[in-house]
Amino acid sequence: MTALQSSTESTITVRNPATGAVSGTVPIDDPETVAAKAAELVQAQPEWEALGPTGRKRWMLKWQGWILDNADRITEVLMSETGKSHVDASLEPVATGDAIAYWATHAKEFLADRHPKAHSPIYRVKRFTTAYRPYPLVGVITPWNFPFAMPGLDVPPALAAGAAVLLKPSEVTPLSAVEFVRGWAEIGAPSVLGLTTGYGATGQAVIEHADFLQFTGSTATGRKVAVACAQRLIPYGLELGGKDPAIVLADADLDRAANGIAWGGLFNSGQVCVSVERIYVEAPVYDEFVAKLAARVGEVRQGPDGDTGAMATDAQRDIVAQHVDDATAAGARVLTGGKPTGVGTFFAPTVLADVNPSMTCMTEETFGPTLPVIKVADENEAIRLANDSPYGLSATVWTGDSRRGERLARRLEVGAVNVNDALVNVFCPGLPMGGWKQSGIGYRAGGPSGIIKYCRQQAITAPRLPTQKSELLWYPATKRGMAIALAFMRMFSARGRRRFGLRPRNG
């Protein structure tokens, strides 16, 4: 295991899964400690909100600068607790800096009051305003696969909205989150970003004190989180498991498809919620594509200085091995890889051919460096099989005709589709990222909606004209006043003779 509870049950010892070396320790916060941290954050939040988007922008961009200045050290911490390659780990702090800049610079626009028009002339005497007020405390619970970038996706928009944030990282990889919060403190920013570390009880305590909860993790745990939030009647967002399909059509550039799918399936050793996990290839190009994919995957280098790193835990490596063993026992062929390397938690990048839809490598989330491939007759069979899953996070379509790819995208039951590319939507905060089916509830990012979700919407009505002492519907009610009010409502909403309280001529 990467994270081990010490004999004193007061700290978590974190080990590098690639080498077994101790990387560091963090405390286990009990519920009382979480409650105290939450209370401090809530106390500091009003002043943070009062700064407004422009005042908050200054601190957030200063934080971004700290992260970029310390990117090398953050990368080393990431590698030490996850076993990632330097290539994969180095992307996280830079991508986080990009996200911070986006939310900091767009918050003023996205949070500006809206003034909807009156739906009826009756209400044109009123001025309507929709205002956005942040939830006082946002709880963010993140997984082990991207321990710096995942907070980087969810925390910045919440801070930009004016909320305080309590971050609870996975017990497997908490050290990167320590750096994430350290940067905020070292720039002297207001005390509205806190960290709590521990196991399930710590996460439960976060839910008990948050006003909004953002969770990323497995579907099974997500269900428990949803129940806990429902019991408190607090809103939440869940980004859960995936089993993302890739469809390769006969007119595709097979070299690009093989290169893109290899990266989309093996990035971070396949430990990505939007990894390519199953591939459907039209029959005329199946053999050629599989050969190209196997050749490309066979060239992938593993290790700290290679392309990909280790699996984050022994358990995750064993799940990958079980899926591959189940497939080969049922007749699938291993074209490359197929086994743990015998070093740490590394698993060799794997391509499986002659796969059928019932195999666990096609039905269950693998979360590892495997690429199982199925031959299909045409695009319709590919769409049908791709949609035959309880998951619906994202997908890729590979074709020589991008318009055709976009048409097929609209037939896929997923939250995002990349045509002739992979993972790119994750790096674009103007797009919503969320899952259909059992892949989640709600969305992260998505432009204005990505920051407004951390806010309570407030409707304000005010008169445009001098007011009278009473209104037609106010007490004491009169027949004349009611008749006038109803007549105007009919006149501006009904159609035909009904506008005047008359029945249509045809009855």
Q: Which of 92, 239, 277, 379 is catalytic?
A: 239
Nearest one of 112, 203, 111, 205 to 159, comparing CA atoms: 111
- What is the longest distance spanned by two Cα atoms in the chain? 88
Q: At 233, list the tokens.
A: 């009647």
Burial (Cβ within 10 Å: 0-12, 13-18, ≥19) of residue 434: buried
Structure token pair of residue 20: 């077994």
| Amino acid sitting at position 180 | F
Taking a C-beta distance cutoff of 8 angstroms, is the pair 211, 137 a contact? yes
Token pair of 105 as six digits: 């610079």
Q: What is the 3-state secondary structure (H, E, C) of 287-351?
A: HHHHHHHHHHHHCCCECCCCCECCCCCHHHHHHHHHHHHHHHHCCCEEEECCCECCCCCCECCEE
239 is catalytic: yes
336 φ, ψ (degrees, to nearest 5): -160, 150
Sign of torsion, CA 460 461 465 467?
negative
Give the alpha-carbon dihedral of 347, 353, 356, 360, to 10 degrees.
0
d(CA 77, CA 182): 13
Of the candidates 186, 492, 490, which has an alpha carbon nearest to the alpha carbon of residue 500?
490
Q: Decide if 414 contacts 393 (C-beta within 8 A).
A: yes
Q: Is the peptide bond between 476 and the residue preceding it cis, with omega within 30 degrees of 0? A: yes
3-state secondary structure of 217: coil
- C-beta neighbour count of 395 within 10 angstroms: 28
Q: Euclidean distance between the first and final Cα of the chain, in Å?
A: 76
3-state helix, strand, coil in the chain (%, to 5): 45, 20, 35
List, by residue number, the catalytic residues. Answer: 239
